[in-house]
Amino acid sequence: METAPANHQFQFQDQYENTYFLHSSDHAGLILVSDRLQSGGDFHSWRRSVRMALNVRNKLGFIDGTVPKPPDNHRDAGSWSRSNDMVATWLMNSVSKKIGQSLLFMNTAESIWKNLLARFKQDDAPRDFEIEQRLSSIHQGSMDVSTYYTELVTLWEEHKNYVELPVCSCGKCECNAVSLWERLQQRNSVTKFLMGLNESFESSRRHILMLKPIPSTENVFNMIAQDERQKSIKPSSKIDNVAFQTSAPSDYSYDTQSENTTFAAQHHNNFKAK
């Protein structure tokens, strides 16, 4: 008598749903970030990277206090203690040796995190000024469009850490202030990107500024990058053209126009001029 094959159903289970879960790769020698914290100058990017690494492992609660220590007689007391010590070890592994020594005798990962915040999260004004100064002076120069755009995006994203969006406190706001603010920031970013381009993109720049609505920063970058690629395509040399025409049948003619289709023609389907 044959038995019907079992209907195996595999369901994915996220083991990290249990905040105390530690994978075999979550060992005490783990370094959360590639660049260890050395000083306050790189603290904001370091903090962002550490929080992301802990969030992946569902361990943020051990540094922000949302997973408090249970009573000593609680069944989770041992699990909490092991997880807390592991997170504390990861934090110390992710800072310089000198900074790590000052954290060694703190009992919880939360106390270590708060100490680092108090020590290195200083007034944001100097760094904010430095970023603004860099943004006002950066130009494409010898960089290709992709490198120039990447530098701008890096500065913009870091700058967001220092600028708080306006939030309605009355609870009755219907003017979409946040959305309007984001649109303004988007327009400013497009303007800055275009301003810093080399003069060889002047015609492309004028065309984009005439579009309505102004495209997003990503779309503007794609337009300029496409223009850059077409500019890099050089027409065949005169000698090659002569040789090709000599060997080709006389019934064919070849367009040796050196310029490609104009920038405006490439993108007229996506945007309308003002």
Residues 59 and 36 occupy one common structural domain: yes
Average per-residue pLDDT in the chain? 82
Domain tally, the chain: 2
Average pLDDT estimate for 106-123: 89
pLDDT tens, position by position, 161-179 = 777 666 666 666 667 776 7
* DSSP annotation string for 136-159: HH---TTS-HHHHHHHHHHHHHHH
* 3-class state of residue 219 by DSSP: helix
Do residues 189 and 183 make contact, with C-beta atoms less than 8 angstroms apart?
no
In a domain, 1, yes or no: no
Same domain, 95 and 107: yes
In terms of pTM, does the model score above 0.95?
no
**Residue 211 β-bridge partners:** 273
Domain range for 28 is: 15-121
Same domain, 111 and 184: no
DSSP state of 23: -
Q: Is residue 265 part of a domain?
A: no
pLDDT in tens, 22-32: 888 899 999 89
Closest CA to 166 of 184, 190, 193: 184
β-sheet bridge partners, residue 272: 212
What average pLDDT does the segment 15-19 reach? 85
**CA–CA separation, 144 vs 136, rounded Å?**
19
Q: Would you say residue 21 has pLDDT above 80?
A: yes
User: Are 83 and 38 part of one and the same domain?
Assistant: yes
Q: Which residues contact 34 (CB under 8 A, 6 or more apart)?
A: none
Task: Give the pLDDT confidence of 207-219 residue by residue, as tens digits.
Answer: 999 998 889 999 9
> Does 256 map to a domain?
no
Residue 5 lies in a domain: no
- pLDDT category at 5 given cuts 50, 70, 90 is low
* pLDDT per position as a tens digit, 215-241: 999 999 999 999 999 998 876 655 555
Owner of token pair 């790769």:
25
Residues 88, 145, single domain; the answer is no
- pLDDT score, position 68: 93
The answer to whether position 226 is within a domain reads yes
Q: pLDDT at position 182, please?
A: 80
**Residue 58 belongs to some domain of the structure:** yes
Could you tell me if 132 and 97 lie in one domain? no
28 alpha-carbon distance from chain centroid: 28
Distance CA 96, CA 101 (A): 9
Q: Are residues 46 and 68 in the same domain?
A: yes
d(CA 195, CA 148): 12
Residue 92 lies in a domain: yes
Residue 84 covered by a domain: yes
Do 134 and 228 lie in one domain? The reply is yes
Select from 121, 149, 184 the last residue of a domain.
121
